[in-house]
Amino acid sequence: MANNKPLRRSRKQQSVDISEAQIAVHWREEGYFSPRAQFIAQANLTNKGVLKRFSLDKFPGYYEEFADLLDWYKRWKKTLDTSNPPFWRWFVGGEINACYNCVDRHLAKHKNKTAIHFVPETEHEAIQHVTYQELYVRVNEFAALLRDFCGLKAGDRVTLHMPMVAELPIAMLACARLGVIHSQVFSGFSGKACADRAVDSESRVLITMDAYYRAGSLLDHKEKADIAVAEAAKDGHKVDKVLIWQRYPGKYSSPTQLVAGRDFIVNDVLKQYRGKRLEPVRLPAEAPLFLMYTSGTTGRPKGCQHSIGGYLAYVTWTSKFIQDIHPEDVYWCMADIGWITGHSYIVYGPLALAASSVVYEGVPTHPDAGRPWRIAEDLDVNIFHTSPTAIRALRRAGPEEPAKYNHHFKHMTTVGEPIEPEVWKWYYKVVGKSKAVIVDTWWQTENGGFLCSTVPGIHKMKPGSAGPGIPGIHPVIYDDEGNELPAGSGKAGNICIRNPWPGGFQTIWKDPARFVTQYYSRYCKNPKSKNWRDWPYMAGDGAVQAADGYYRILGRIDDVINVAGHRLGTKEIESAALTVAEVAEAAVVPVADPIKGKVPDLYVSLKPGLQASKALADKVSGAVVFQIGPIARPRTVVIVPDMPKTRSGKIMRRVLAAISNHQDPGDVSTLANPEVVEKIKEAAK
């Protein structure tokens, strides 16, 4: 029997605790900016008919337009199978290969065109231009190595821990050619974090590089592979082979020794596969293409599983119509391929459209804040894509810098965190020279591609707002009680998506139950329902919708902190702190930061009889860097005599967050230990 009441939640409710007043103070409604006529004249999508064609009553048929951008070995029989909610199956019966679509199919027309411009961080080092033909050759040879030297086949998982070099997309595409599921771990993550992901995905092979440049120094990266293999072994998992690319082919650039029989220099082994060509493996549309681990509300990251057909169709369509990529464009997304943005919008989307995609090795402000604009000028980049954190950092380091360069962007993207209207306007006026359109794209690792954004050739832009759902995406905002907020109400609530879409992840690797509870249970009115309309996807973000239909994303409603556009779970950092023997309890809170948006502060209490010291605080910080990586390093580790607690013993993170952000902690008299608050304030000074 249909039950119309929202599901009762046994776990702690996640609610939007951002008041309307706060929103009003921070960001008032901004005026519109219009795309230039020159942009519209060349744009891939200007016909408003798309908005009608992609209305909810036409769902899911309109998604065939996405899949039709790809080459299929066999056309799908069913666009969407909803028989087992919320495990949606897209393009069922279709057969496809992602590598074929990103490489082989472009050879006839574009083989001499650059597919990847690899820009080393060291500015005097030559840029490498990898043509589609060269990409084809290198992907084939590496695929042969994976198949014949490593014995990998469709469905096996491989962990990649690679920096931003051309060999990373080459390795991903080689996996895709075989149907091997790649799991790329952000190179800035620690060896231990890499191990956790290799263990969870049961990868027998780890692909890495000896070294790479970051902020002016050549970092030893191979040492992390040794840690990863050793830590995986502690968890009972054996990594058989470590494949090591050389940053400078022919020269080993790491001081770390090779382990005989386990470590192999890719450049050496590849010699056996010279000239090898492999037919792309025909795979079902719903076979997994890759796993991307991301942080959630527990101590363990979750492996988001993305499909071949649905995912590739989604990123190709959005790259073409939201990024406005044409084959002749030079496109630069400054994200790291170790995050979903890089997978979708450096590798798969742009290459499926035969564009030239820039892969930049290092930090944007190295050696100075003019670097990105010099690269853009040199390569004639006309589409640029980055995060608010990078924009804020470039603005602070060199507000006048972009004006000195002769670059011309037609289109710019911002992604990953809310962008303040002043920062948006600097991006628009100074970086884009008031000529480029901007899209503020809201989405998540789980989603595969954009959810909310303006269509650049159709909609006006509004600083601080992502825009409406993209064509085909139908968002809705619910309040904490499960009531739908009226459209355009300007009230804050939990943003959800009413309909499935092909880019959405298929499941959490080895944890389908968590997939259901985390994203669907809260607003599903009837868990027995076979009707997709009963299964809105809950994103975990607070949002408001203005009267014009544009959404403004307010930030996470759960225990996730968005640091510089990268997602960190507070529980993961807390678990890392608890690996230090002296630590009794740990609590992480987000602190506002002028550049990175948010940074973590870590509060710890010690086991009885132990004294706080700088050395101990450093040890805790070191443990976080070991377990996760430098991006999770707390701004401060505050050692407190006790945590502020409710009478039932729950840590009141709200009080700690107020202290870290120099705000009033409010009424603390109901705490079990109100006297500790002053002591914590003292310790945090």
Contact present, 542 and 16 (Cβ < 8 Å): yes
Go through 647-669 and write b for each residue having 16 or more CB atoms within 10 A of its CB, e for each that does not: eeeebbbebbbbbbeeeebeebe
Is the CB of 79 or the CB of 318 nearer to ligand WT7? 318
Q: What are phi and psi of 177, to 5 degrees?
A: -60, -35
- Distance, first Cα to last Cα, the chain: 58
Is the CB of 14 or the CB of 441 nearer to ligand WT7? 441
Is the CB of 97 or the CB of 494 nearer to ligand WT7? 494
Q: Is 343 in the site for ligand WT7 (CB under 6 A)?
A: no
Work out the angle at residue 294's Cα, subtended by the Cα atoms of residues 293 and 299, and round it to the nearest 5 degrees.
105
**In terms of C-beta distances under 8 Å and separation of at least 24 residues, what long-range contacts does 658-667 make, across chains too?**
659/684, 660/589, 660/591, 660/601, 660/636, 660/684, 661/591, 661/592
Q: Is 319 in the site for ligand WT7 (CB under 6 A)?
A: no
Nearest to 556 by CA among 14, 3, 111: 14
When binding is defined by CB under 6 A, the residue of 85, 280, 350, 418 that contacts ligand WT7 is 418
Q: Is 67 in the site for ligand WT7 (CB under 6 A)?
A: no
The residues with which 625 forms a beta bridge, in sequence order, are none
Q: Is 416 in the site for ligand WT7 (CB under 6 A)?
A: yes
Is the CB of 402 or the CB of 418 nearer to ligand WT7? 418
Closest distance of CB 473 from ligand WT7, Å: 14
Q: Is 445 in the site for ligand WT7 (CB under 6 A)?
A: yes
Size of the site for ligand WT7 (CB under 6 A): 23
Closest distance of CB 218 from ligand WT7, Å: 28
CB atoms within 10 A of CB 20: 11
Closest distance of CB 387 from ligand WT7, Å: 8
Residue 102 vs residues 65, 173, 317, 342: alpha-carbon distances, Å: 18, 8, 13, 15
When binding is defined by CB under 6 A, the residue of 43, 173, 415, 524 that contacts ligand WT7 is 415
Nearest to 349 by CA among 381, 311, 307: 311
> What character string, x for contact with ligand WT7 (CB under 6 A) and - otherwise, covers 545-564?
--------x-xx-----x--
* Torsion sign across C-alpha atoms 385, 99, 138, 304: positive
Contact present, 301 and 360 (Cβ < 8 Å): no
When binding is defined by CB under 6 A, the residue of 567, 571, 596, 598 that contacts ligand WT7 is 567
Residue 2 CA to residue 142 CA, distance in Å, equals: 53
Closest distance of CB 324 from ligand WT7, Å: 17
Residue 388 CA to residue 392 CA, distance in Å, equals: 6
Q: Is 440 in the site for ligand WT7 (CB under 6 A)?
A: yes
Site for ligand WT7 in 344-383 (CB under 6 A): none
The residues with which 601 forms a beta bridge, in sequence order, are 589
Residue 6 CA to residue 483 CA, distance in Å, equals: 9
Is the CB of 294 or the CB of 316 nearer to ligand WT7? 294
Q: Is 89 in the site for ligand WT7 (CB under 6 A)?
A: no
When binding is defined by CB under 6 A, the residue of 315, 379, 466, 620 that contacts ligand WT7 is 466
Residue type, 547: A
Work out the angle at residue 306's Cα, subtended by the Cα atoms of residues 303 and 307, and round it to the nearest 5 degrees.
145
Nearest to 340 by CA among 192, 481, 446, 228: 446
When binding is defined by CB under 6 A, the residue of 190, 246, 294, 454 that contacts ligand WT7 is 294
Q: Is 442 in the site for ligand WT7 (CB under 6 A)?
A: yes
Is the CB of 349 or the CB of 418 nearer to ligand WT7? 418
- Cis-peptide, bond into residue 367, ω within 30° of zero: yes
Closest distance of CB 548 from ligand WT7, Å: 17
Q: Is 341 in the site for ligand WT7 (CB under 6 A)?
A: yes
Is the CB of 437 or the CB of 539 nearer to ligand WT7? 539
Is the CB of 294 or the CB of 454 nearer to ligand WT7? 294
Q: What is the CA radius of gyration of the chain?
A: 25
> What character string, x for contact with ligand WT7 (CB under 6 A) and - otherwise, covers 622-661?
----------------------------------------
Binding segment for ligand WT7 among 234-242, 313-321, 358-366, 416-424 (CB under 6 A)? 416-424
Is the CB of 176 or the CB of 554 nearer to ligand WT7? 554
Is the CB of 205 or the CB of 466 nearer to ligand WT7? 466
Is the CB of 94 or the CB of 565 nearer to ligand WT7? 565
**Residues in the site for ligand WT7, rule: CB under 6 A?**
294, 340-341, 415-418, 440-445, 466, 539-541, 553, 555-556, 562, 565, 567
